[in-house]
Structures are given as structure tokens and as C-alpha cells.
Amino acid sequence: MELLNEGFGYDCLRELEQNKLSKLAEEVRELIIDVSLRNGGHMASSLGCVELSIALLRQFDLREDRVIYDVGHQTYAHKILTDRLGLFNTLRTEGGLSGFPKQSESEFDHFNTGHSSTSISAALGYAKARDLLNKNHHVVALIGDASLINGLAFEALNHVNELNTRIILVLNDNTHSINRRIGGISNSIARLSSNPAYNKLKKSIKNICAVIPGGSSVEKRLERFRDHVKHIMKPENIFDDLGINYWGPFDGHDIPTIEGILKLAKRYDRPVLLHFITTKGKGYPEAENNPVYYHGVPSRDTCDNGIRKKSWSLAAAEKVEAIAERDPRIVCLTAAMTSGTKLDEFAKKNPGRFFDVGIAESHMLTLAAGMASGGLRPWVFIYSTFLQRAIDQLTHDIALQNLPVMIMVDRAGLVGDDGETHQGLFDVTWC
């Protein structure tokens, strides 16, 4: 590779000329694709976040500033560009790099993650610590549109205005979790992503000012007018209502644009949310066309003699399909894991009896409890590691009420590649 040679590191990135950034993004993608297809991993999410990672690393000094990635699915570019280039081929291998941010691995990883929706809460904690210790560095939380719907993220958003602290929230909007995102908040984000009337007017003003004499001066005089137009034509959004200034949407693959927005955000003295539109799987056509499959790709040694073994997930899904044909009370629920739990066929055959709640495990279990109380027979399909996030609902809302809810625990036990945040070790004690 031309730029990603063995001497390339974090300081090299910060000094790199603007005209070389597109080439760098291309090389980073090539490396992510090569290592992910060999070792397995969360490829599509990381491919979509390359330019955002480059811009964040260039605009913030991660030895002082704090940048927290939600979940960590999208951190492969971050790892490559923060002095771990030579180790990246060890990703998700024994003794190698973690597939998620890990503070013990690098000074540039500021919070250990693995489960979704923790970044805003952690960033707020960092920001208040900064304020109370009389420091002045920046704090950034990068969160995806699917993680944003989780209750923990909403609790944090609700607290931002009360804490009255300076924080930058970066919304990486690729319209997906693993499957396509769902829910009312998703629809609200989608409306923010495309307001043709306002965006067309804004572009027209900019184009006109670019070609007329003294156009830049004219554009400045029009700023106040454009602000009025923005308030009239821009869709109302929940972030402004929560006291978080919303900026966007912007192209999340245009590095100069991203860097320009980040520079402005650093000078802003109030909470701000920057909305960037990205493409999951960017730069790898197969992943762009099928981001669900390429969200998490298996390693090459997953198959025995070239034949993939039938998984517990598939066997469980086939069983519930058969039972549901005989019992109309059966419904299936999952939390953004339709494909992972092999419920695609059930959803196609029984669309009115299938519920993907998004990344909202606690809600899902209490929803199932309500369904059971109302006479249905819910089957909840959930990874063991994510069931940890709903233990209170499992105990209080289902078990103590002795409700007929079937909990289908996927990925139980030692599951290996994703590390300690994804081990299924606690479910035995819940039985």
C-alpha cells in the first residue's frame, strides 16, 4: 500500500495533506476487507465509518480529547490509524486485537464497549469530570442511528440539558442496525435526513453566491434570512426539543466537509448533535448490496470440510415455525436480531405474529409479558449476552408472575471471537 506502510501512525495521519485523504480511506477499506474476510468480524459497519474516523482523528487530539465509539462495531479504521496498523491482522484472534474498543489495548480507546447505546452516558460522565476538574478538552460520542433508540441512550439524551455541559454528539446514520432499523424514532431521523425544500433552497443560495461578484459577502448577509427559512422549513426534531442543537444532515463520506463541521462544533459552547449520512458496507459492493449479511462475517475456518454445520439458531427457528402452524397464539420477538436468530422465514410466513423491537431488550421482555398476560404465547429469541440487559424484566415481569413466555437463549456459553463482552456465562444462574 502506498500510504499504509509500516511507518504510518497517528501523528502521520494528522499531518497528511488533504489531497491524500481519499487515497488513505481507500487503503484503509482494503485492509478492513482483507482482514475481516479472513478473521471474521463486523465489516460492513466499519467500512461505512472510515471517513468519519479519519476526520475525528485529525480534528481531535486523542491524547487529550475523548472520543467514545458506541458498540464498537465501527472501530476498525480507528484501530488501524491509532498505531495498531502492524497488529491489525491479529484482529479477533487469541492474543490479538479486540474487535471492540479496549482501554488496556491503546491510549486512544477511551471507553470499553461491546453492547450498544452506552456512548452518550459515558461521554456525559467524561464531560462533567472535565468541568469539575477545571480542564478544557473536547468530549465526543459517536453513536449509530439504531443504537440511538435504546432506552439507555434516551435516558442520556434526556439528561444532556440538565447537566449543562459542552459535548459533541456524532450521529452515524446508515439506516441499519444489523437489519434495517425500525420504529418511530427511525422515521423521525429519516425525515431529518431528507427535507427537499430546505436543502434545495440552501444549495441554490450557495450556488448563486459562488458565481456572482462579491458572492461571499452576499452569502454572509443572507445567513440571517437562511436561519429564518431553516426554522420555517426544517422538520421539527427531538434533539432541539431536548436542548441539543441539531446540525445536519451532512455527507459522512466527504472528509473535508466532515472536518469543517467538526471545526465549527469545537468552537460551539453548548451540546450539539452532528448528523452524518453514511453507507453501510461502503467501498465493497457485496456489503453495500447486502449489509445485513456482511454486518458480521464469519472467519474462514467456521466451516468443516466446506460444509457449514446446522446451527442451534436455525434448529430453534424451524421448531417454532412448526409449532406456530398448529398454535395461532404463538408470536416471536427479537431485538434487532432477525437474521442472527434465523427468524427471517418465520417473519415472512407470519408477518402479523413477528415483532422486531429494535435494540430494546428490556422493552421486549415486558412486551412479551404483556402479550402472555393477554393470552398469547410469546417466544423471545435473544442472545445470552444481551439478555443481561433485561434481567430485571426477566425476573420481575415474567418469572415472578409465572407467565408462559418461552426464552430462546442464543449464543450461550463461551462464544469466543467477540471477547468478554459477548460471552454467555450468566444465563445458567437465571434458570
C-alpha dist (Å) from residue 13 to 55, 75, 148:
10, 16, 30
Confidence of residue 234 (pLDDT cuts 50, 70, 90): low
Q: Which tens digits make up the pLDDT trace of 390-420?
A: 999 999 999 999 999 999 999 887 776 777 7
Which is higher by pLDDT, 89 or 304?
89
pLDDT at 308: 57
Question: Comparing C-alpha atoms, which of 100, 99, 115, 149 is closest to residue 389?
Answer: 115
Q: Residue 210 has what pLDDT?
A: 56
The answer on pLDDT for 183 being more than 60 is no
Is the predicted pLDDT of residue 186 greater than 60, yes or no?
no
The pLDDT score that the predictor gives to residue 190 is 52
Residue 144, pLDDT above cutoff 60: yes
- Spatial separation of the C-alpha atoms in residues 341 and 331, rounded to whole Å: 14
Residue 157, H or E segment: helix 151-163
Residues of the chain with CATH 3.40.50.970: 10-195+235-289, 312-430
pLDDT at 214: 54
How many Cα atoms occupy the beta-carbon half-sphere of 385 within 13 Å?
Answer: 16
pLDDT band for position 232 (50/70/90)? very low
Query: Which residues are within 8 A (CB) of 145 and not within 5 positions of it... i.e. 6 or more apart?
Result: 171, 172, 173, 174, 175, 176, 181, 186, 189
Mean pLDDT of the region 338-361: 94
For strands 168-173 and 354-356, give the pairing: unpaired
Q: Which residue has the higher pLDDT, 124 or 232?
A: 124
Q: What is the mean pLDDT of residues 229-241?
A: 64
Grid cell digits, residue 247: 446540525
Question: In this predicted model, what pLDDT tens digit does every residue of 308-343 receive, in sequence order?
Answer: 578 899 999 999 999 999 999 999 999 988 988 999
Query: Exposure string (b/e) for 88-99, b if CB count within 10 Å is 16 or more?
Result: beebbeeeebbb
pLDDT, mean of residues 20-44: 94
Higher per-residue confidence, 344 vs 226: 344
pLDDT-based confidence at residue 184 (cuts at 50, 70, 90): low
pLDDT the model gives residue 13: 94
Q: In the structure, what pLDDT confidence band is assigned to residue 6 with cuts at 50, 70 and 90?
A: confident
Q: Does 3.40.228.10 match the CATH number of domain 10-195+235-289?
A: no
What is the band of 291 on the pLDDT scale with cuts at 50, 70, 90?
A: confident
Instruction: Tell me: pLDDT of 195 over 90.
Output: no
- Among 24-38, 79-93, 181-195, name the one with the lowest average pLDDT: 181-195
Mean pLDDT, to the nearest integer, of 33-48? 92
Question: Identity (one letter) of the amino acid at 114?
Answer: G
pLDDT > 60? residue 182: no
* 27-53: average pLDDT: 94
Query: For residue 71, what pLDDT is reported?
Result: 85
Query: What homologous superfamily does CATH list for 312-430?
Result: Thiamin diphosphate (ThDP)-binding fold, Pyr/PP domains (3.40.50.970)
Instruction: Report, as residue numbers or ranges, the catalytic residues.
Output: 280, 361, 389
pLDDT at 289: 87
Q: What pLDDT shows up at residue 129?
A: 97
For the chain, the average pLDDT equals 85
Q: Report whether 142 contacts 70 (CB < 8 A).
A: yes
